[in-house]
Amino acid sequence: MSATEIIFAIYVSIGCIYWLWLAVGSWITIRRTTILKDIDVDESPSWPRLSVVIPACDEGHTLWNAIQTVLAQDYPDIEIVLINDRSTDNTGQIVNNAAATDKRVKPVHITELPDGWLGKVNALSHGFERTSGQWVLFTDADVHLAPGTLRRAVAYAENRRLDHLALIPDAWPSTLLTDIAISAFFRIFLVSMRAWAVENPKSSAYAGVGAFNLVRRETFEKTDGFEWLRLEVADDVGLGLMMKCSGAHSAVAHGRDLVGLHWYNSVAEMARGAEKGYSSLGHCNPLRLVGMISLLSFLELSPFIAVLLCGMPQLQVAGAMTMLVGISTIIAMHRWARRPIFPGLLVPVAAMLNLAFSFRAAWLGFRRGGVVWRGTLYPSRVLREGVRVKLWQGASETLK
């Protein structure tokens, strides 16, 4: 074999292992991750007080419709803390209008950002200080809840004696390109975070979801709180890490048909959102970010490259078999989550999009010297100091 053939053989072999890992992980995820809507929960005769914390920064275009779904919940004892985080649009007026029309709403207006804090984490911290519930739900300003979601979630958490429950939301379809990229993220995130293993106290798996992080107040107050997360861009996953490190009983379930949002409405929005990857994935190192995403993209593309570009019949057969495994995996995952299947099958397009997003984020992060998030520039030096979520570490390693 020539050197080129050896390199191709190694590449295709690693790609086969990668797709086999995805297939096994997806099968375990489907079999062992709870779909909250599909299970029976015993409702308590006396409901614990629930506080819902919703931070919003220039999100007037989504906030009003989202909070209506929270106000329409039939949970017996609830308060909603709405936080206007330095907004320059009509978010503040929406917060005030909601408070004026419903006494369950507590308005909070933040006008200044303290040094050493990310805006959203600071807003969450301020919001938590205004809560009084035994359970606290941290959610976002674009998240919609189906009727009965809060009763079901709290009852499930109480039944299983959980301290933290994260619900995976429905990402509603928008444009074809955004759906392609979201589909790729969806399957890789679920498998890599091992959502099904989070509830096992012996497992180092952890997870958190910005759309729905429900915590037991008593347990949350035993952690280092948002002070520990003050510079963590991936604050939602970081909250899950913090809870798991504290010994909390955490779990992840799918909120299919219960929790939903339009994650991104356009490729431009998604590209801007991906800028945070300069910190959360690349730890403010542009070469690291580009290298990680390039490696992932080439692994995703391996069966296609083997079939189309490799002239060795054995590797072409291996690539074709790997492609069939990948297609079967994607179809199974999307049926389970009730997501459109077609965008998920366009793996090469997703790989190219992710590469483009990562190169753009790396260049902007390098040029700016940090990350712009919610209208504020956070320098790389500051963000490096606050990184808590490290993809190569589980909760047990973080404690060391």
The position carrying tokens 């910190």 is 279
Domain extents in the chain:
3-31+268-394, 33-266
- Return d(Cα 230, Cα 173) in angstroms, integer: 32
Tell me the three state secondary structure of residue 331: helix
Q: Is the pLDDT of residue 393 over 70?
A: no
Rg (CA), the chain: 22
Query: Which distant-in-sequence residues (6+ apart) come within 8 Å of 296 by Cβ?
Result: 188, 354
Mean pLDDT for 338-359 is 95
Give me 274's structure tokens.
Answer: 């991906």
Q: What percent of the chain has pLDDT over 90?
A: 86
Q: Are 221 and 248 in contact (CB under 8 A)?
A: no
The pLDDT value recorded for residue 399 is 47
The bridge status of strand 259-261 relative to strand 144-145 is antiparallel
Q: Is the pLDDT of residue 332 over 80?
A: yes
Mean pLDDT for 324-336 is 95
The pLDDT value recorded for residue 41 is 85
Q: Are 59 and 278 in contact (CB under 8 A)?
A: no
Q: What percent of the chain has pLDDT over 70?
A: 98
Give the angle subtended at the CA of 121 by the CAs of 242 and 249, to the nearest 5°. Answer: 25
Q: Are 196 and 29 in contact (CB under 8 A)?
A: yes
Which of 345, 374, 38 is CA-nearest to residue 187? 345
Tell me the three state secondary structure of residue 373: strand
Q: Is the pLDDT of residue 207 over 90?
A: yes
Residue type, 96: N
Residue type, 315: L
Q: Are 388 and 232 in contact (CB under 8 A)?
A: yes
Which of 156, 147, 132 is CA-nearest to residue 70? 147
Give me 204's structure tokens.
Answer: 């180092």
The position carrying tokens 């992080």 is 213
Mean pLDDT for 361-387 is 93
Q: Are 85 and 374 in contact (CB under 8 A)?
A: yes
- Return d(Cα 137, Cα 134) in angstroms, integer: 10
Give me 280's structure tokens.
Answer: 């959360």
Binning pLDDT at 50, 70 and 90, where does residue 400 land?
Answer: very low
The pLDDT value recorded for residue 42 is 82
Q: Is the pLDDT of residue 1 over 70?
A: no
Q: Is the pLDDT of residue 395 over 70?
A: no
The position carrying tokens 């809840």 is 145
The position carrying tokens 């989504």 is 62
The pLDDT value recorded for residue 4 is 79
The pLDDT value recorded for residue 241 is 95
How would CATH label the architecture of 33-266? Alpha-Beta Complex (3.90)
pLDDT, mean over the chain: 93
Tell me the three state secondary structure of residue 67: helix
Per-residue pLDDT tens digits for 250-286 = 999 999 999 999 999 899 999 999 999 999 899 999 9
